[in-house]
Structure 1
Amino acid sequence: MTKLSVNINKIATLRNSRGGDVPSVLKVAKDVQKFGAHGVTIHPRPDERHIRYQDARDLKEVVYTEYNIEGNPIKSFMDLVLEVKPTQVTLVPDAEDAITSNAGWDTIKHKDFLVDVIAEFKRNGIRTSVFVDADERMVEAAVATGTDRVELYTESYASAYEQGDLKGVEPFVKAAIKANEVGLGINAGHDLSLENIKYFKENIPNLLEVSIGHALIAESLYLGIENVVNLYLNKLK
């Protein structure tokens, strides 16, 4: 089945809004794994407005499934990842003031930069994934960077699905087919939810992993996090 990695950034946002350690990022990470999630994702940003760099270090001790750290590979981020050595690093071209991720890499324009960054992570035994739009050219060009996987940026699919446009998945199908052809693993994330995840999973060939945070945490406010994790797992079978 497609693996579910739970992004716990929003737990950190809630914690930071009040100070202290409630809700506990570490406890939630332990719990989602106990409830069946296959991994934990975090996306620390330079201003540490949600996940802090120390959280990344502390989580290393409690994440026994797959540990995925996302972010823009500025020096401080790279140093953190090389120190923590998660299972996977996902490279995202965030502006420092971005509220959330809003675009994939241009893997043609930024090839040389990505080659150097990815080589450093792979020398340290860390699997790499590159955040890309649903564009066959960007997927194909990602091969030359040396990455192991691409993560398809799914906001446009989610927006189309919400409007009842099922054809919004078609660029993602084509991108996934291209990834399969060139030997890249396929991850996906951004605005995936209980409403749209099943259709996406059914249409994307060899989808290895989805990373879901905002929707999953919001849904958990109403339905409970253990229940929501299991609802996702059932839709990903």
Structure 2
Amino acid sequence: MAGYQLKLKRKQQVAEGTLALYFDKPDDFSFQAGQCARLVLVDPPETDDEGNGRILSLASAPAESELMFATRIRDSAFKRVLSALTPGAEFTLKGPYGDFTLPADPARELVFITGGIGITPVRSMLLQAMAESQGRQMTLFYANRRPEDAAFLDELTQACAISSHCMLVATMTQAGQSAQHWQGERGHVDKAMLNRHLTDLARPLYYLDGPPGLVAAMKTMLVDAGVAEAQLRTEEFAGY
């Protein structure tokens, strides 16, 4: 698969410990909302056994003019280099990859359950569905420790507030440790929380992504609640 040459336009902290990287979109690059790509540093000042690249979800929607990736910053050579980059830094992009994408039926009701950096492909899918004026009903359950840790929370809150087809249910597991006053849901996503916001758990198509433990717990909970496994789409984010 051919690679695309990119130069960093800008970067932005979108939550505590989470960095977004923005690039011009190559004219011949196309992808589906929810897909990922391999982003490779060109001649970085340091490297490690994991190499100079990572598979990252495309957090931008295909309808947006820029490409955007977001990642948690950890103590690895790759992440240290990302943190220190300035505009003009060079990358190679390979992809896209993956089938964690919107269903073909534009009327199918969707429920997204995600946590932490798992929001990246979900942001892409939600905003793309809105850009295409799809009439599907979408509900996003988005779990974080504190509001400060929740990437794109304000943006997605505003987007869903002006759409009659989108509902955002954000929940914080450590809201008491936040400097912000939190008035939304608290605790982990569970069956009781789903029942407060959904009229029929068995009807939607579910997208579950984020840390492996969250994905496994949500899958078990939904199957136990009577949701058919064929209605579950999953993607795990490990080692980010």
Q: Same fold (TM over 0.5)?
A: no
Normalized per residue, which structure has more helix? Answer: 1
Largest Rg, 1 or 2: 2
TM bracket (short chain): 0.3 to 0.5
Normalized per residue, which structure has more strand? Answer: 2
Q: TM-score, normalised by structure 2?
A: 0.32
Q: TM-score, normalised by structure 1?
A: 0.33
